[in-house]
Structure 1
């Protein structure tokens, strides 16, 4: 099992200790570092800033939102980062949800699958640099033309253009964040990797089936199926007390189940529903939307936390790793303070001393109590 480090969302400012943790992750052999964006910090700038202080670790956007930039602007940012980092960029993309897309970016959300397909195709054309980029649309026509349904008029002066910069890697990896069945299949069809969220090994057969549907349609010019990556962001918390460790994860689950997305359109909650937690999700969402966040957090079952995270004593985590290793997952993207990264690496990769991991687990427990 490979391992990467996710810096997570910013709050009032940059995550405290992020650079220290990133440099520690590189020193400890973590393969990649990932940033996030929603409607605050962007995904590319931190990678350029922090990436300049590293030499080897890959730099992934986890995720850059489609509606935040046109496809050509995203391709420009990715190829620029790839040049500056010496070929270390991974472009993670995702459609986000209607609340953010329409409420923050002022863009229409319908037909996310069709938009994603067009978007990735244009990005690949920019990176290939074989010819001036054109696209028929309807979502991202190049040159611009008003949609048949009406829209701002065109001057008629637009012309197909080719990037002035030669991309360092025409095959720069593109991963897609996806949660629904059709979106997961699309990732296997057109991308180089899949970024799942709230993944559980208990649903592995289901997700493997969606991936197989996409692989059956995959263009042979893309990377072979055997090189397709599945990089899942999850909490790995070595901690002497399972319930105390679960308490560190419950707020995130409550937020995504209860407060992310509209009540009638919450893709994160749909994933948990399919795991068999429909009643629990109803309760969490009801409490969260009523403003009772503490009660919503407390309503997250420990069993649910243990499905989508690895928590508790190092021996317990290592025992539970087998199910993850036998799943479609190829890389775990973990979070944690710099001092815990060695213990997390040792537990996840099955290397190092369990005694050290136990000591780090106790340190983790003390740090969360203070």
Structure 2
């Protein structure tokens, strides 16, 4: 369903819909198995998925991830079932808890992540749906980082979608999920043959994460514990070792090597996300994804 390699155009909300559709059609023609879409305060996950599924013929569309504080579990369950019935085996719903301030922005009270997600899944399962039901399986993954959310993903869903984490975390996640669950990991990438320039762009993305790491401390805890980093590695936008672990950077060969490392660590699917310098002109990275296709697919 997902294919081995998918993509996550980072700036999809910054472009008119006609440009997005044209780009995704190209990605489909290049052979990518899945297009992943984020959800913030732009296009909402089910609407965006419906539009993309209608505009394409083969590629899987994955909401990666829909924030549960922004959605009612009953209506989201109805949307998932509707899309699965209309587009069999082409829609994947990813769910995540996000960070506390996002819950507060929509007037919700932040709760314990695991218990809140479990309750949301219970309510989705219990949702009434009187339309024609899908003939294929509903597929849901959790945006899981820490061991408790990974365990919940293994217990209740199709699998997990860890975001912005090194291959060592992939091996850790596979141990918790077990062999039979889908592990679809995101891999941040800076594609630039100038290795020094590529690393600096990667560092700016790691710097942004470090500056906001208090909002989601589980990611730093996982990286620190698995790779032996210390607080010193957080200085000046991140040590070289931290930057190299978090982001694949360099030429096509370097990126392909990291993707293979993710597979070797236990990933079933790798979602490649081209990263640019934060604040730069938004781009759908069509040229870069075309360059990578021959090496990754």
- Give the 3 Å change call, closer, same or farther, for CA 169–253 of structure 1 in structure 2: farther
Deviates most, 330-339 or 192-201: 330-339
Q: Distance in 1 between matches of 2:229 and 2:155?
A: 30
- Give the 3 Å change call, closer, same or farther, for CA 9–239 of structure 1 in structure 2: closer
SS at match of 2:111: coil
Which residue of structure 1 aligns with residue 117 of structure 2?
A: 116
- Give the 3 Å change call, closer, same or farther, for CA 232–322 of structure 1 in structure 2: closer
Q: Distance in 2 between matches of 1:247 and 1:3?
A: 25
Deviation at 1:260, TM superposition (A): 5.4
**Does the 8 Å contact 1:242/1:312 carry over to 2?**
yes
The root-mean-square deviation of aligned C-alpha atoms, in Å, is 2.6
Q: Residues 115-264 of structure 1 correspond to what in structure 2 (within 5 A)?
A: 115-126=116-127, 162-169=128-135, 171-212=137-178, 226=180, 228-259=181-212, 261-262=214-215
SS at match of 2:265: coil
Deviation at 1:343, TM superposition (A): 2.4
TM-score by length of 2: 0.84
**Does the 8 Å contact 2:34/2:60 carry over to 1?**
yes
Deviation at 1:308, TM superposition (A): 2.5
Which residue of structure 2 aligns with residue 145 of structure 1?
A: none
- Give the 3 Å change call, closer, same or farther, for CA 51–281 of structure 1 in structure 2: farther
Which residue of structure 2 aligns with residue 334 of structure 1?
A: 272
Deviation per CA, 1:249-307: give whole Å up to 9, x if none.
33332222212554xx5333333333333324643xxxxxxxxxxxx5xx233332321
SS at match of 1:209: helix
Q: Residues 23-42 of structure 1 correspond to what in structure 2 (within 5 A)?
A: 23-42=25-44
Deviates most, 66-75 or 336-345: 336-345
The count of corresponding residues between Structure 1 and Structure 2 is 284
Deviation at 1:348, TM superposition (A): 2.6
Q: Distance in 1 between matches of 2:174 and 2:140?
A: 19
> Max radius of gyration: which structure?
1
TM-score by length of 1: 0.69
**Unmatched segments (≥5 aa) in structure 1:** 127-161, 213-224, 284-295, 350-370
SS at match of 2:242: helix
- Give the 3 Å change call, closer, same or farther, for CA 347–304 of structure 1 in structure 2: farther
- Give the 3 Å change call, closer, same or farther, for CA 266–13 of structure 1 in structure 2: farther
SS at match of 1:335: strand
Q: Residues 247-326 of structure 1 correspond to what in structure 2 (within 5 A)?
A: 247-259=200-212, 261-262=214-215, 266-274=217-225, 275-280=227-232, 282-283=234-235, 299-326=237-264
**Unmatched segments (≥5 aa) in structure 2:** 275-284
Structure having the larger proportion of residues in helix: 2
Q: Distance in 2 between matches of 1:20 and 1:278?
A: 44
SS at match of 1:7: coil
- Give the 3 Å change call, closer, same or farther, for CA 18–207 of structure 1 in structure 2: same
Deviation at 1:39, TM superposition (A): 3.4
Which residue of structure 2 aligns with residue 221 of structure 1?
A: none
SS at match of 1:165: coil
Instruction: Answer 1 or 2: higher relative contact order, Cα 8 Å, separation at least 6.
Output: 2
- Give the 3 Å change call, closer, same or farther, for CA 205–78 of structure 1 in structure 2: closer
